[in-house]
């Protein structure tokens, strides 16, 4: 390969595409992000809330979109599509067609006058046609870029020139250009990432649902829009027929999924169970009368992700009804209501009336995407998803072209984000030589020296759509802000975080010569960085900024006290103003980066991460507590798609062992960690010290062995009782005896989904069914019984389940009240289980009993997490920084996680996560220095007595008594700004910059002034 290009093409502006673009742009590559619609954000921007944290989707997504929209190294190409690709990996040429917006983005200020005047109304595709928009429109209120676009199919002028053209007349900036023509661009890129997303299944063809004929039957995506505050009914739940709030809603699962006959989709869409529960929970919250009855009709409840099972249990407690039943007909009833006819597990037929029916539609590939793949020579699988293999989960059949997100299998947001980073990682491996060759550098204007200026505070009060404005009187708060000392400007915004408002804010800062800014909106935890950068762009130091949290901590928690919430908002604004007055400009500190990674754990996850970083040219120290590489995977027979695990492992181990940049420390554990991102220093149990810039924790997990208790099932007592991995051992050894078996019984969920281990282990259903199929392969006449609670063969794994049933494997459901019972008769195993369909007890006499026991966290993970200051879940898995959008980062900078220590997952997901961790780590390693804490402790030597309290309470050894002066001195590189020293100091001699006692007191005192 000749010198590769230093830029990457990402196709698709959904969350996956945006994440891949951000990862690459932050680690030295120039990214072209192609999106077919007029704004990025994809399907996630249409969602109301996200499971399992109930985070507002737009709220967590928005900062990322804005970041991508503003990123110097991301070239956003909206209304664009890829025509073709030529060339080879490292040097592709891509032809892109950019359709006209008819609005000049450099002139449009998104004032909306054009849309007001536009006479043409068409169904709004963002609201799936539930609402209307004009022919000139914004895709959604927080759209990035926040620029209007004209829909050429709807526009009167474009279809009949000379007829309308009102928008052009009223546009205050002259941004409308009807003469704009499509453009063709030719881009030279090194690699291509396809993040083409999915399309919700259209249930019109499914007659039994009544969709398209009955008004009050909606799809789940439509229901998201009904719930959304930016949707057609402003977040006040209304049903389509009569705009009344429904009191009884049913969700029908598996519409367009797990259905070969009617929908032609054999796969499971993986996310619908969780989103249905989420919608039921959120709908209950929305319901103003508070008496909403929600029922979910399902086949298997698939809550197989991190935190999902607990969410499911909580939903049950909240009174959401779950019916294990497939609805066969939705019939019209009186008052636009709907009657569902369904059969329960006992075979009884029921009829029940509902006021609204939500179809939990599955995910499928858009025909346009299929066409594009065909043109690019990208291979699709039987379900029309892009084909990948378990050991290369983000690689397509065409070298140099990678894939991520729901276009290769239905999946949830964190999984898509993980794959996006993984795809970015693969791109970096290919193009590592070209890093920083095509990027631009961000230059902020010089900062105005504000020391001598009297305070000029600007206050921006956000409505957050209706999130704040429906409770807090934002106009009153804005007017009040104007009266506060130091405030010279205040205004109210609909969405302060929208690109347009942000740009406007920068203008206002310059125009009004503001030297302090307060934003009263949501939480600084998500939005502070965004606003702070705006200050920098406007030429003032970013620390001259405070936020008043009037949404999460006010309007959302005092919905029934609008007046008091308004008073509180004023107090919070006053407090923020009092605080900001004391803020001083702070330096932007930087920490040099040691360009080396420490990877802990040499299982598949650790080895993949290590190899990927080493392939990018970064030295890696790989630490493994055991005396050999391989970890848990050593015990695995094959992937569910049938690839032998041991061959892969052998190859991977060999590559690691031969790699000149990987140093392997076997039989070693981490003893001590000091330092922080960019410059960690770790002592290993073998006495070695490793200096490294980042760390990846991939320490794996254990399989649960039911040695005692009610899940024991003769395990350890009868020689023919195995766990899944123990049976795998016999497959690996090609144990001939297995072919001679007559009967095998598998018990699923052994020790899982119970109060002691309240989570689903995600992998066991698929693993067990694959083993059952392997046994069938060995002896087609073998009788195999699977005793299960819910079969959770999510995604394409569902095909295995179908195959198993086709091959005569018998599935018998049990529940926690009716556990299977094992006993021994003359050394032979006897299993008794109640068949809930026929209502009879069945006795089985298997030759082997296989226990599908789950994955449990390792006991020593806690100590490791403390060393790296990482958090853990209640179950004992490591906790990422954000469940949705930061799935491989820890809250601690420079530390990442991958594999089973995060949550149980199959090998393809482990590999993707390991690659993602490598991508995130490369964001640090690719730089010479990373930003460091600016809010640090500062000593006033005049007051310091040198008593040393500060040195003792500092967990980072950042304060020491200077031998010469006898006074405390702070190493700002080590200081994390916690303030323990400040509170410990009796002499008030040490303070935290911009968080000093005086400032906090001013804030407290301001709170009391109202």
Say if CB 435 and CB 28 are below 8 A apart: yes
Q: Could you give phi then psi for residue 546, rounded to 5 degrees? A: -140, 155
State which residue, 141 or 984, has the beta carbon closest to other proteins. Answer: 984
295 phi, psi to nearest 5 deg: -130, 140
Nearest CA-CA partner of 354 in 206, 231, 210 = 210
Binder to other proteins among 177, 329, 553, 802 (CB under 8 A)? 553
464 binds other proteins (CB under 8 A): no
Examine residue 556 and tell whether it contacts other proteins (CB under 8 A): yes
Write out the binding residues for other proteins, residues 518-537 only, by CB under 8 A: 523-525
Among 139, 551, 757, 776, binds other proteins (CB under 8 A): 551
* Per-residue mark of binding to other proteins, 15-54 (x: CB under 8 A): --------------------------------------xx
**Nearest distance from C-beta of residue 1008 to other proteins, angstroms:** 4
Nearer to other proteins, 299 or 947 (CB): 947
**Which listed residue (593, 979, 990, 993) binds other proteins by CB under 8 A?**
979
> What's the min distance (Å) between Cβ of 551 and other proteins?
7
Spatial distance between the Cα atoms of 722 and 727, rounded to a whole number of angstroms? 6
Structure tokens at 738: 């297995």
Q: According to CB under 8 A, which residues from 991 to 1010 bind other proteins?
A: 992, 995, 997-998, 1000-1001, 1003-1005, 1007-1008
Stretch that binds other proteins, among 230-238, 696-704, 809-817, 986-994 (CB under 8 A): 986-994
CB of 990 to other proteins, least distance (A): 11
Helix (H) or strand (E) holding 475: helix 474-482
Question: Bridge partners of 889?
Answer: 896
Least distance from C-beta 465 to other proteins, angstroms? 15
**Distance from C-alpha of 197 to C-alpha of 215, rounded to nearest angstrom:** 28
**CB of residue 980 to other proteins, shortest distance in Å:** 4
Pairing state between β 7-11 and 191-194? parallel
- Which member of 682, 978, 990, 993 binds other proteins (CB under 8 A)? 978
> Rounded to the nearest 5°, which phi and psi values hold at 701?
-150, -170
SS (H, E, C) 363-401: EECCHHHHHHHHHHCCCECCCCCECCECCECCECCCCCE
375 interacts with other proteins by CB under 8 A: no
Between residues 265 and 579, which has the closer beta carbon with respect to other proteins?
A: 579
465 lies in the site for other proteins, by CB under 8 A: no
Cβ–Cβ < 8 Å for 471, 562: yes
Query: Rg of the Cα trace of the chain?
Result: 30
* The three-state (H, E, C) secondary structure of 30-44, written as one string: EEEEECCCCCECCHH
State the Cα–Cα distance between residues 500 and 512, nearest whole angstrom.
18
Q: What is the distance, to the nearest Å, from the Cα of residue 487 to the centroid of all Cα atoms in its chain? A: 39
Q: Based on CB atoms, which residue is closest to other proteins, 216 or 936? A: 936
Chain Cα centroid distance, residue 95: 31
Per CB under 8 A, does 860 bind other proteins?
no
Query: What's the CA gap between 474 and 464, in Å, rounded?
Result: 10
Identity of the residue, 58 or 431, whose beta carbon is nearer to other proteins in the bound complex: 58
Nearer to other proteins, 258 or 278 (CB): 278
Q: How far is the CB of 682 from other proteins (least distance, A)?
A: 16
Nearer to other proteins, 593 or 992 (CB): 992
Nearer to other proteins, 303 or 396 (CB): 303
Nearest approach in angstroms of CB 560 to other proteins is: 7
By CB under 8 A, name the one of 23, 151, 554, 880 that touches other proteins.
554
Spatial CA neighbour of 206 closest among 266, 251, 264: 264
Q: Is residue 466 within the footprint of other proteins (CB under 8 A)?
A: no
The rounded Cα 617 to chain-centroid distance in angstroms is 28
Stretch that binds other proteins, among 583-591, 751-759, 841-849, 984-992 (CB under 8 A): 984-992
- Which one, 261 or 964, has the nearer CB to other proteins? 964
> Nearer Cβ to other proteins, position 110 or 520?
520
Q: Is 977 in the site for other proteins (CB under 8 A)?
A: yes
* Nearer CB in complex with other proteins: 710/866: 866
**Vertex 241 angle, CA 239 and 247, to 5°:** 40
Number of residues that make up the chain: 1010
Question: How many residues interact with other proteins (rule CB under 8 A)?
Answer: 72
Closer CB to other proteins, residue 737 or residue 891? 891
Binding flag, residue 517, other proteins (CB under 8 A): no
Identify residues 873-932 at the interface with other proteins (CB under 8 A): 891
Closest distance between other proteins and the C-beta of residue 376, in Å? 41
Q: Which is nearer to other proteins, 118 or 522 (CB)?
A: 522
Taking the complex as a whole, how short is the minimal distance between the CB of residue 301 and other proteins, in angstroms? Answer: 22
CA–CA separation, 260 vs 382, rounded Å?
Answer: 12
Please identify which residue in 125, 184, 475, 561 interacts with other proteins, judged by CB under 8 A: 561
d(C-alpha 932, C-alpha 750), whole Å = 47
Read off the tokens for 880.
Answer: 């990422």
Task: Find the shortest distance in angstroms from Cβ 1006 to other proteins.
Answer: 9
Tell me how far, at minimum, the Cβ of 863 lies from other proteins, in Å: 11
**Residue 371 CB burial class (10 angstroms; 0-12, 13-18, ≥19):** exposed
User: In the window 930-969, what residues touch other proteins (CB under 8 A)?
Assistant: 935, 941-943, 945-949, 952-953, 955-956, 961, 963-967
Q: Interacting stretch for other proteins, rule CB under 8 A, among 365-373, 754-762, 852-860, 970-978?
A: 970-978
Taking CB under 8 A as the rule, does residue 839 contact other proteins? no
Q: Using CB under 8 A, which of 306, 426, 634, 976 touches other proteins?
A: 976
- For β-strands 457-462 and 401-403, DSSP reports them as unpaired
d(CA 267, CA 404): 18
Q: How far is the CB of 44 from other proteins (least distance, A)?
A: 16
Contacts for 652 with CB less than 8 Å, ≥ 6 apart: 604, 607, 608, 611
**Helix, strand, or coil here: 481?**
helix
47-76 binders of other proteins (CB under 8 A): 53-56
Which residues inside 742-801 make contact with other proteins, applying CB under 8 A? none
Applying CB under 8 A, the span of 563-571, 681-689, 824-832, 839-847 interacting with other proteins comes to 563-571
Among positive and negative, which fits the CA dihedral 483, 487, 488, 489? negative
The total of other beta-carbon atoms located within 10 Å of residue 858's CB is: 17
Count the neighbouring beta carbons within 10 Å of the beta carbon of residue 163: 10
Binding window for other proteins (CB under 8 A); candidates: 174-182, 197-205, 548-556, 752-760: 548-556
Nearest distance in Å: CB 94, other proteins: 40
Nearest CA to 407 out of 440, 368, 375 is that of: 368
For other proteins, give the closer residue by CB, 719 or 955: 955
In the DSSP assignment, the letter for residue 666 is: E
Name which of residues 281 to 310 contact other proteins (CB under 8 A). 285
Eight-state DSSP code of residue 217? E
Q: Shortest distance, CB of residue 862 to other proteins, whole angstroms?
A: 9
Pick between residue 539 and residue 984 the one whose CB is nearest to other proteins. 984
User: Is the peptide bond between 52 and the residue preceding it cis, with omega within 30 degrees of 0?
Assistant: yes
Using CB under 8 A as the binding rule, the residues of this chain from 417 to 446 that contact other proteins are none
For residues 845 and 728, is the Cβ–Cβ distance under 8 A?
Answer: no
The widest CA-to-CA distance across the chain, in whole angstroms, is 94
Asked if 158 contacts 152 with a C-beta cutoff of 8 angstroms, the reply is yes
Within 209-268, the residues that bind other proteins by CB under 8 A are none
SS3 625: coil
């Amino acid at each position: 390969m000749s010198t590769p290009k230093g830029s990457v093409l990402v196709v698709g502006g959904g969350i996956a595409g945006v994440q891949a673009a951000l990862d690459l742009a932050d680690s030295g590559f120039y990214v072209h992000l192609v999106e077919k619609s007029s704004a990025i954000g994809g399907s996630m921007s249409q969602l109301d809330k996200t499971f399992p944290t109930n985070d507002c989707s737009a709220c967590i997504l928005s900062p990322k979109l804005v970041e991508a929209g503003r990123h110097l190294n991301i070239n956003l190409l909206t209304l664009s599509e890829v025509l073709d690709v030529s060339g080879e990996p490292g040097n592709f040429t891509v032809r892109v067609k950019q359709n006209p917006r008819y609005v000049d983005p450099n002139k449009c200020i998104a004032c909306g006058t054009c849309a007001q005047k536009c006479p043409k109304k068409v169904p709004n595709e963002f609201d799936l046609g539930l609402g209307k928009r004009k022919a000139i429109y914004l895709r959604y209120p927080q759209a990035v870029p926040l620029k209007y676009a004209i829909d050429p199919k709807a526009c009167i002028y474009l279809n009949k020139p000379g007829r309308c053209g009102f928008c052009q007349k009223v546009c205050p900036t002259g941004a409308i250009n009807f003469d704009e023509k499509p453009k063709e661009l030719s881009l030279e890129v090194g690699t291509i990432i396809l993040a083409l997303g999915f399309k919700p299944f259209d249930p019109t063809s499914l007659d039994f649902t009544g969709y398209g004929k009955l008004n009050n039957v909606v799809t789940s995506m439509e229901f998201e829009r009904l719930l959304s505050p930016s949707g057609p009914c402003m977040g006040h739940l209304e049903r389509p027929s009569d705009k009344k709030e429904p009191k009884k809603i049913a969700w029908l699962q598996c519409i367009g999924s797990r259905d070969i006959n009617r929908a032609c989709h054999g796969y499971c869409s993986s996310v619908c169970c969780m989103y249905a529960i989420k919608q039921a929970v959120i709908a209950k919250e929305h319901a103003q009368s508070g008496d909403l009855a929600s029922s979910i009709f399902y086949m298997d409840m698939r809550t197989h992700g991190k935190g999902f099972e607990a969410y499911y249990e909580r939903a049950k407690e909240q009174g959401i009804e779950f019916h294990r039943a497939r609805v066969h007909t939705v019939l019209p009833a009186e008052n636009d209501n709907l009657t569902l006819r369904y059969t329960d597990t006992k075979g009884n037929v029921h009829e029940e009336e509902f006021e609204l029916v939500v179809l939990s539609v599955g995910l499928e590939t858009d025909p346009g995407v299929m066409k594009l793949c065909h043109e690019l020579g990208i291979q699709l699988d039987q379900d029309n998803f892009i084909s990948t293999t378990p050991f290369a989960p983000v690689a397509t059949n065409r070298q140099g072209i990678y894939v991520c997100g729901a276009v290769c299998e239905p999946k949830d947001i964190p999984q898509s984000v993980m794959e996006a980073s993984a795809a970015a990682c693969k791109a970096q491996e290919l193009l590592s030589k070209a890093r920083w060759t095509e990027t631009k550098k961000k230059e902020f204007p010089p900062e105005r020296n504000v020391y001598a200026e009297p305070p000029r505070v600007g206050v921006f009060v956000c409505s957050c759509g209706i999130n704040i404005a429906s409770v807090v009187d934002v106009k009153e708060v804005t007017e009040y802000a104007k009266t506060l000392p130091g405030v010279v400007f205040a205004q109210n915004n609909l969405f302060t975080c929208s690109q347009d408002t942000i740009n406007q804010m920068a203008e206002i800062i310059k125009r009004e010569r503001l030297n302090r800014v307060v934003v009263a909106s949501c939480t600084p935890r998500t939005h502070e960085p965004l606003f702070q950068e705006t200050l920098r762009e406007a030429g003032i130091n970013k620390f001259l900024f405070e936020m008043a949290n009037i949404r999460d901590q006010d309007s959302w928690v005092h919905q029934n006290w609008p007046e008091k919430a308004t008073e509180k908002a004023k107090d919070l604004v006053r407090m923020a103003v009092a605080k900001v007055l004391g803020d001083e400009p702070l330096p932007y500190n930087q920490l040099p980066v040691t360009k080396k990674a420490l990877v802990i754990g040499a299982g598949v996850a650790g080895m993949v991460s290590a190899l990927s970083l080493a392939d990018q040219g970064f030295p890696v120290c790989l630490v493994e507590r055991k005396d050999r590489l391989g970890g848990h995977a050593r015990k695995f027979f094959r992937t569910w798609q049938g690839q032998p695990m041991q061959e892969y492992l052998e190859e991977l181990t060999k590559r690691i062992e031969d790699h000149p940049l990987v140093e392997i420390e076997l039989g070693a554990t981490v003893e001590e960690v000091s330092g922080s991102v960019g410059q960690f220093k770790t002592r290993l149990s073998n006495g070695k010290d490793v200096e490294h810039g980042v760390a990846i924790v991939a320490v794996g997990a254990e399989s649960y062995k039911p040695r005692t208790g009610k899940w024991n099932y003769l395990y350890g007592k009868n020689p023919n009782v195995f766990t899944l991995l123990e049976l795998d051992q016999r497959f690996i050894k090609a144990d001939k005896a297995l072919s001679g078996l007559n009967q095998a019984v598998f018990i699923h969920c052994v020790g899982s989904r119970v109060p002691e281990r309240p989570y689903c282990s995600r992998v066991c259903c698929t693993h067990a069914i694959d083993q059952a199929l392997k046994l069938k392969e060995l002896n087609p006449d073998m009788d195999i019984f699977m005793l299960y609670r819910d079969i959770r063969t999510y995604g394409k794994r569902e095909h295995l389940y179908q195959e198993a049933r086709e091959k005569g494997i018998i599935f018998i459901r049990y529940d926690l009240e009716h556990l299977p019972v094992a006993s021994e008769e003359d050394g032979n195993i006897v299993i008794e289980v109640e068949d809930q369909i026929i209502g009879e007890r069945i006795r089985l006499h298997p030759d082997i009993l296989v226990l599908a026991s789950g994955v449990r966290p390792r006991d020593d993970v806690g100590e490791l997490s403390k060393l790296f200051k990482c958090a853990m879940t209640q179950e004992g898995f490591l906790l990422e920084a954000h469940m949705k959008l930061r799935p491989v980062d820890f809250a601690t900078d420079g530390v990442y996680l991958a594999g089973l220590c995060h949550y149980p997952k199959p090998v393809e997901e482990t590999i993707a996560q390991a690659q993602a961790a490598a991508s995130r780590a490369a964001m640090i390693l690719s730089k010479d220095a990373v930003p460091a804490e600016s809010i640090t402790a500062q000593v006033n030597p005049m007051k310091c007595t040198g008593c040393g309290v500060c040195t003792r309470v500092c967990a980072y050894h950042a304060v020491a008594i200077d031998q010469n002066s006898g006074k405390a001195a702070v190493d700002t590189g080590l200081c994390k700004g916690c303030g323990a020293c400040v509170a410990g100091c009796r002499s008030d001699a040490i303070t935290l910059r911009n968080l000093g006692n005086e400032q906090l007191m001013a804030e407290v005192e301001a709170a009391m002034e109202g």
